[in-house]
Amino acid sequence: MEVWSPEFDLFDYGSGRFTVQLGIRGDDQGRLWPLMKFIKLAEVPVPEGTLTVVSGWLDLSGPSSLQTRPQRTSGSYTAAGFSPELVVSGEQSVPVADGEWRLTARPLFVKMVTSDGSTGSGITVRGAPEVTLTYKEIPPVPPAKVWQLSAQVLAATTKWPPALTIDGRGRAVVFAHQDAPANWAAIGQTAAGAWSAPEARTVSPGGGPVAATSKDGRATVFWREPTHYVKYLRQTSLGADQLTLDAAAAQIPNVNTPNSPVIALNADGRFEPVLVGMEGAFWHAFTTGTDPYAWAGAPAKFGGFNIRDIAAATRSDGRIAAYHVNTGGDLWQILQTAPNAAWATTFTMPLTGVQGPPALHPLPGGGPLLAVFAATQGGAPDTLAYAVDNGTDSWGPAQPLVYDFKDATIERGTRPDLALGPDGKLLLAVAAQGTVTILQQPDDLAAPWITLARVADAATGPIASPSVATDGTGRIVFTYVNTTNHPVAVTLT
């Protein structure tokens, strides 16, 4: 629902005139969002165009004032390096009829902000009229399910975030490293939804776990050894409640890396790890034939350098897209030429200003890839942003991702996680200032993401990276590390 005022002029101290509209948008949670649309600008040193500003959530239960920043832009302002901030005064909404309300609002202040975050000259609005908007009340939509939290905490502390995957039976499997004794501990869901006893294997990893499920349905954990080799352990049985693993780890041949790999999946289910080589370039390994663990003799080199973070995802068209972020925050991508096939020979650079490791997942219904990552926005570092692949080897502009903890900065160096939820919408797990929040995608990506669960005992720093998945019965499972550095697995039922 959107309601707009007639167009009217805002005047500054004499240097120009803004023709604008004020509006209100309602979402399916019963919240209202003030809008402002710049229709025309005259005698001001920015290009003409149209810019819609979707502000932060304005509480209309009483008199309020809110300084906002743009959440959605169109036109030439972003490209020209400017974006506006708006302060709106909103009086208490007044009921005027059954299900209808009236709000009186007045714009007070506008300032232009350059794209690098430095603030330009502020313009105090002069002579702006009060604008009266009548809108219909949108009753809140109750959540589809009422979630209750049940947690399983492993006994030992850890140095790295746990890894989460769903096996071929649709059951969650969690891998975590225990400091004492030094081993991997794996737990899996039973048929009743409880957790199995930990299954442990003694290892000496040099990097955190990465989990994926092979095309034969076995959960597999990969990690980097201190000697820079990449090893893995496989789930050995899909027929029992008690999770079991290989007796000894296997190794991907001829692979050396200073960091843990990222495991991509081909359209036919074969593993395709992407990783940074010892010389700093971007590489990938791959399997051949029908055996999901029959590795090719040697990995292949993509190229690239100055790599800070890596990521990969399988697009809706079945092709793997591999990404690296350089030390300057530029995101580079390279794609398979077809599903299960060879790779392109050149990179493209679809995004800049990426501060941390991105989470990637196709939008539901065969949609394009969505990326969620940390960025600097309005001068504030480490704030959540998102961008959408436009399907032509480039991405739309980065936009602020809004949720009810939006003023918090996400933990520096953590990777958010995206997964498809039980209701056919994406789930997002994000760590911010000692909390982990599980969010559900709204219909409009510019609207606030819906909070499903939040825990407030999470660790801070890179160890805080959470994971989220949906099991075969529609239960949401997420993992994190708590304030005492214990790995935790939570089931929302």
Mind listing the domains of the chain with CATH numbers? Answer: 2-136 (2.40.128), 149-492 (2.120.10.10)
CB 362 within 8 Å of CB 369 = yes
How do the pLDDT tens digits run along the chain, 493 residues long? 566 666 666 554 344 555 666 666 655 555 555 565 655 544 433 333 333 333 333 333 333 333 333 333 222 222 233 333 444 444 445 555 665 656 565 554 444 444 444 444 444 444 455 656 565 554 544 454 556 678 888 878 999 999 999 999 999 999 999 887 778 889 999 988 889 989 999 888 889 999 999 989 999 999 999 999 999 999 998 888 999 999 999 999 999 999 999 999 999 999 999 999 999 999 999 998 778 899 988 899 999 989 999 999 999 999 999 999 999 999 999 999 999 999 999 999 989 889 889 999 999 999 999 999 998 776 667 788 999 998 766 788 888 888 876 555 788 788 999 999 999 999 999 998 888 999 999 988 888 888 888 888 889 888 889 999 999 999 999 999 999 999 999 998 7
Q: Which two tokens stand for residue 405?
A: 């903890």
**Around Cβ 102, how many Cβ atoms within 10 Å?**
14
Q: Is 157 exposed, middle or buried (0-12, 13-18, 19+ CB in 10 A)?
A: middle
Q: Which residues contact 403 (CB under 8 A, 6 or more apart)?
A: 384, 430, 437, 439, 448, 449, 451
Distances (CA, A) of 200 to 186, 225, 399: 6, 17, 43
